[in-house]
Amino acid sequence: MQRSEVYEKVVKVLTPHLDEPGAAEKIAPGAHIIDDLGVNSARLIDVVIELEDAFGVAVGDDELDAIATIDDVVSLVAAKLG
């Protein structure tokens, strides 16, 4: 799967979890998921579980800690998909 396809799919999973007004407009590869998009860490778990289902991958605890931006998610998923 192309990196751009992974990015689009990640955004599709993430978007329904954005509660803050205007957060959807801030979506960009470098956007910080917690600080910029307002997804709290508990909500991030939901996002990660949906991503696991969407891509058929498993995310470890330490890998979750390393996620800060959308780009981080894309890189993680892309690496797992090989």
Partner 1 sequence: MQRTPSIPPALRDQRIVARLTAPLWLPALAVFMRFGMGWRIDGASALRERFRALRGAGAPLLVCPNHLTMVDSALVASALAPARFYLRDFAALPWNLPERRHFAARWWSRALVWLLKCVPIERGGSRAEIGDVLAKAGALLAAGEVVLVFPEGRRSRSGRIEVDANTWGVGRLVGAVPGCHVLCVYLRGRSQTAYGALPRRGERFRVAFELLEPKSDAAGVRRALDLSRQVLASLAALEARLEPSA
- The binding site for partner 1 (CB under 8 A) comprises 34, 40-46, 48-49, 52, 58-68
- Between 6 and 48, whose beta carbon lies closer to partner 1? 48
Q: How far is the CB of 14 from partner 1 (least distance, A)?
A: 15
Say which DSSP state 69 is in.
Answer: B
> Whose Cβ is closer to partner 1: residue 48's or residue 77's?
48
The Cα 63–Cα 57 span in angstroms is 12
CB of 60 to partner 1, least distance (A): 5
Output the smallest distance, CB 22 to partner 1, in A.
19
Minimum CB distance to partner 1 smaller for 68 or for 78: 68
